[in-house]
Chains A and B, each alone.
Chain A
């Protein structure tokens, strides 16, 4: 008899499973990938303190901790449906159906694509794919690369590619259009980078964060943005150049690039070709919420959290009884926040399962810890993350808290 099924063995799922198992619940974790760790497996960066964050080590640590608590981690298992049957959740997978009273969905995020001419050529990949190939599979993705899209995720992975000795020639923007949105507008890109300035990966942008809060200054900054770009650890970031086409016969041979103005408009006659043998498209991340959707969970579109997120409370419960969420499915944040949310979800499940003792204290501490970790996060994917969180929790209060109180009263009485 399984008490809890955790879907996703990333930082949120593993931390959630650990908290469940510590509380005495029999827990199974399933993951689509061949080994546990989720996106932790790709992460490697130097923290502001000078210490290194090695995602593979973190993942090994969490996996061992979970296994020591008798958590059953099953890899290579894909979930294709989730439904409630006879008071229990049925988790339908390619390896059969599992069932339990509690399910924690910790499926993380997926990448926004930015389609452009030539994007189906071999050698074009999402930035996340480049990360997985480099840090997980240890495959060299190419010799000379170009990244299309300037955002925090792209910079973090650029740094990892550089550490692996993979040469990235340039970062350019996608061409402005309905499919690229703000990612193709230099002013908007600079705004989002400078808003996240305390975390910006270059001193130029850090300086910019303080100086460029006003629109006028920002426009000037874009105007005077060096034509050859600002070097990001050796790779020029070209905010005034847009990729209009990826070219190549059988595979990527280069990118046709044009100069653009501060609003992303192409300057005629400025096109040139940069050679490359691989191209990474960096469109950013959105919460991967398909399973919560098929389970029937209501959603809210919150741009600050990356897109559609399932309704959930600060203790990670959804409106559906027994269904909990944690990690990037609730909004795009760092792996550390995901871990803290996972722990919260785990204790929250234990509480709902009727585990007594100090569970209330543990849960309260876990909620507080999420706030603290969020405050101290080294990577902030969205500058207005706190506004986004506030929106979803306020909505929860409004829609569900009253009902919840009634439920608790009945239970206590």
Chain B
């Protein structure tokens, strides 16, 4: 009755809970693969809103995996920056 499947998890890329859960269940994949398959966490904010939830979905969809085993992988830039800003620093 309540529409949990259509809840938006990744707001930047508009990925729903249903899409994430079915992808995780079908492919039994890592958080990284789940992101690459759905684009969740790969939008403008860089996953700052949905990252934790995506990890929890992986945890719930894959038997015998715990938070402790989901690697804490971050890549720069961890904040949205313009190409100009990054370019200036490279010189």
Q: Which residues of A contact B (CB under 8 A)?
A: 32, 78-83, 92, 94, 96-97, 110, 112-113, 115-117, 119-120, 175, 177-179, 181, 244-245, 256, 286, 289-291, 293-294, 299, 301, 303, 307-308
The answer to whether A113 and B49 touch across the interface, beta carbons within 8 angstroms, is yes
The answer to whether A301 and B68 touch across the interface, beta carbons within 8 angstroms, is yes
The answer to whether A81 and B77 touch across the interface, beta carbons within 8 angstroms, is yes
The answer to whether A79 and B79 touch across the interface, beta carbons within 8 angstroms, is yes
Residue of B nearest to A303 (CB): B67
The answer to whether B9 and A115 touch across the interface, beta carbons within 8 angstroms, is yes
**Using Cβ atoms and an 8 Å threshold, which residues of chain B touch A79?**
78-79
**Using Cβ atoms and an 8 Å threshold, which residues of chain B touch A177?**
4
**Using Cβ atoms and an 8 Å threshold, which residues of chain B touch A119?**
7
The answer to whether A178 and B59 touch across the interface, beta carbons within 8 angstroms, is yes
The answer to whether A290 and B6 touch across the interface, beta carbons within 8 angstroms, is no
**Using Cβ atoms and an 8 Å threshold, which residues of chain B touch A308?**
72
The answer to whether B2 and A256 touch across the interface, beta carbons within 8 angstroms, is yes
Main secondary structure of the interface of A (DSSP, over half): mixed
Whether B63 is near chain A, meaning CB under 8 Å from some CB there, is no
CA distance A304 to B68 in the complex (A): 12
CA distance A81 to B76 in the complex (A): 5
Q: Which residues of B contact A (CB under 8 A)?
A: 2-4, 6-9, 11, 17, 48-50, 52-53, 56-57, 59-60, 66-68, 72-79, 81, 85, 88-89
Q: How far is the CB of A228 from chain B (nearest CB, A)?
A: 24
Residue of A nearest to B59 (CB): A178
CA distance A160 to B50 in the complex (A): 27
CA distance A299 to B73 in the complex (A): 10
Q: 10 shortest A-B CB distances, which residue pairs?
A: A178-B60, A81-B76, A80-B77, A301-B68, A293-B74, A80-B79, A290-B78, A78-B79, A308-B72, A290-B74
Query: In this complex, which of B50, B73, B75, B76 has the most chain A Cβ atoms within 10 angstroms of its Cβ?
Result: B76
The answer to whether A94 and B89 touch across the interface, beta carbons within 8 angstroms, is no
The answer to whether A97 and B74 touch across the interface, beta carbons within 8 angstroms, is no
Task: Identify 4 new A-B residue pairs, CB closer than 8 A, beyond the known A92-B89, A117-B2.
Answer: A94-B79, A115-B17, A119-B7, A308-B72
